[in-house]
Amino acid sequence: MPPTVLRAIPVAALLPYAKGVRPTFRGSDDVLVVLQYWLQEVKVVADAYSAHLFATDAGYARHVGQLNVLTYLIEHGDANHGNFLVSRSESSPRVFSVDNGIAFAFTTATAGTPGAGCECRNSRPTRSIACAP
């Protein structure tokens, strides 16, 4: 996951970009927002998991393993196209989960389209992954 933080931003500062935005909490003039580092040199792919790369590139396999653990632990439930990005690096490409809004107890919402993106909700590592140096 790219670096992601919660911030409270004054309504007045957001209004030019988000018409009709209102304070998150009664008695406050702030809106609670999530800010996330914008990744460069990444691509949106139909499936972030490549069986071939997983078998042949230990660095990529490690990153997929990390993504797998993260999405499993947070009960990630949104495998929509574009929610998983892959770096353009030729070797050991990293995989990122950028849209984690449906997670933990948020189970009533749409759970994503099976087969799109990277179906992580029910995935388990199929082999142990050696740590890259």
Exposure string for 21-53, b = 16+ CB within 10 A, e = fewer: beeeeeeeeebeeeeeeeeeebeebeebbbeeb
Binding segment (CB under 6 A) for ligand ATP, from list 5-13, 14-22, 30-38, 62-70: 30-38
Question: Among Mg ion, ligand ATP, none, what does residue 98 contact (CB within 5–8 Å per kind)?
Answer: ligand ATP
> Using the rule CB under 6 A, is 18 a contact of ligand ATP?
no
Q: Which of 93, 99, 102, 120 binds ligand ATP (CB under 6 A)?
A: 99
Interaction of residue 107 with ligand ATP, rule CB under 6 A: no
At closest approach, how far in Å is the CB of 130 from ligand ATP? 28
Work out whether 98 is an interface residue with ligand ATP (CB under 6 A).
yes
The closest residue (CB) to ligand ATP is 82
- Residue 97 contacts residue 69 (beta carbons within 8 Å): no
Rounded CA separation 65/126 (Å): 10
Letter string b/e over residues 64-93, b meaning 16 or more CB atoms within 10 A of that residue's CB? bbebbebbeebebbbbeeebbbbbeeeeeb
Decide: is 119 part of the binding site for ligand ATP (CB under 6 A): no
Burial of 9 (0-12, 13-18, 19+ CB in 10 A): middle
Cβ-based nearer residue to ligand ATP, 57 or 78: 78
CB of 117 to ligand ATP, least distance (A): 9
Is the Cβ of residue 24 or residue 36 nearer to ligand ATP in the bound state? 36
